[in-house]
Structure 1
Amino acid sequence: MALKDYEIVMVFSLSKGEEAVNALKTKFTDLISKNGTLGEVEEWGKKKLAYAINYETDGYYVLINFSSEESFPAELDRVINITDGVLRSLIVAKGE
């Protein structure tokens, strides 16, 4: 099957500290590596949110580029939605 290029932006909660952010980042980069090809990982760091999410006004932003089969982003999104500590995420297919 052909691989497609994707990018995902995730906003992590800072309420549990930096170790929790690093654990989440590692969890998702490992998951992507097992199911596709991990590309560039850009850490945008701590930024002010446009509006409060779950009473939090700051979030830790991470952008990950990856290639995978077309079925994987749906599974990745499912895992993100059941993971505590992820405030928001967006997966986009590149080149469309």
Structure 2
Amino acid sequence: MTTVYETMYILRPDLGDEQVEQAVTKYQNLLREQGAEDIQIQNRGKRRLAYEIKKHRDGIYIQLNYTAPATAIAPFERAMRLSEEVIRYLTIKQEVTEAKAAKEEAVSV
């Protein structure tokens, strides 16, 4: 059974555009390997942090929305935790309304 998730992570501000793209691709591929589908990526850009994290005042925000089995989240978050380029991450399970679920079922039939 798959669930809808949203992950927001913050990359170090000193990464170049190419390094940011490599990081985004790396985590997208990791999710796909774990069985995730419908991955939507939004680069929110560099923003000021509310407080200093690991001696950084700014961060590059990336948002992922996807459907995945529950077993995909632990390896995904472990990879982020061990990464030097990610300074913070958060994954939440999205609420799926009945109307949206019915619409998705009608589309898949």
State TM-score, norm by structure 2: 0.80
* Higher-helix-fraction structure: 2
Conserved 8 A contact 2:28-2:39: no
Structure 1 regions of 5+ residues with no counterpart?
none
d(CA) in 2 for partners of 1:20 and 1:40? 19
Higher Rg: 2
Gap regions ≥5 residues in structure 2: 97-109
- Quick one: percent identity of the two aligned structures? 24
Aligned to 1:7: 6
- 1:17 Cα deviation after fit: 2.4
Which SS does the other structure have where 1:58 is aligned? strand
Relative to the length of structure 1, the TM-score reads 0.90
* Greater fraction of residues in strand: 1
How far apart are the structure 1 equivalents of 2:51 and 2:44?
Answer: 18
Give the ranges of 4+ consecutive aligned residues of structure 1 lying more than 4 Å apart after TM superposition.
none
**Whole-Å separation in 1 of the counterparts to 2:32 and 2:95:** 21
Count of residue pairs brought into register by the alignment: 95
Partner of 1:16: 15
Structure 1 distance, partners of 2:89, 2:9, is 4
CA RMSD of aligned residues (A): 1.4
Answer whether contact 2:6 2:63 (CA < 8 A) is retained.
Answer: yes
Write the distance in 2 (CA, Å) between the matches of 1:44 and 1:16: 15
How is 1:1-96 mapped onto 2 (pairs within 5 angstroms)? 2-35=1-34, 36-95=36-95
